[in-house]
Homo-oligomer: A and B are copies of this chain.
Amino acid sequence: MLRTAPVLSAVEFSAERPQARRVERVDSRFLESLMGYNARRASLAIIERFLREMAVYELRPVDFSVMSLVVHNPGITSSQLCAALGLLPPNLVVMLNALQKRKLIERLPHPHDRRAIGLYPSGAGITLMLSAEKTAARLEGEATAKLTTAEAKTLLRLLRKIYL
């Protein structure tokens, strides 16, 4: 039933320590046994590529996420966006200002709650996201190129089980 690499054992270090030695090959087995370590490495690898390819749209991953939700949920509010993406309101405001300045979104009064503001994609915003989401779908294939279709599906399902 042992899944993780063995942790340090005290006896492993009871003998006198050599005063100077050279490490030929780095032993990363313990770290590599940790889910968090692997999940982070994998997400960084994917997001790195995403960052490069989305640069043509001038969209960082977080901008892409925000725009995608606005396009698929016209009228969504800031607080809904924050909840869905785990963002903090003060940080979202800055992003929305930038997106509005680029005329990718519009802010319209909320129909029932005068405190809230509905976010809508502009025509340009929709056009941009049509391309950007196509690119994202292509990157999806590249990111999972080393996996079979079944494996990719499994990976997605298991990742979701971790954080939901």
- Which residues of A are at the interface with B, using a C-beta cutoff of 8 A? 1, 3-4, 7-8, 10, 13, 17-23, 26-47, 50, 61, 65, 68-69, 71-77, 80, 83-84, 86, 108-112, 118, 120, 126, 129-130, 133-134, 136-137, 139-140, 143-144, 146-147, 149, 151-156, 158-163
Contacts and interface: CB of A to CB of B under 8 A. Distances in A.
A7 B31 CA distance: 37
A27 B140 contact: no
Contacts of A46: 35-36, 39, 162
A83 to B, nearest CB: 8
Contacts of A158: 147, 151, 154-155, 158
B163 A27 contact: no
Taken together, the copies of this chain in the complex come to 2
A140 B4 contact: yes
A23 B121 CA distance: 14
Nearest to A119: B23
A79 to B, nearest CB: 11
B23 A143 contact: no
Contact of A47 (B36, B126, B151, B153): B36
Contact of A39 (B8, B42, B73): B42
Nearest to A36: B46
Contacts of A33: 140, 156
A154 B112 CA distance: 48
Contacts of A147: 158, 161-162
A75 B22 contact: yes
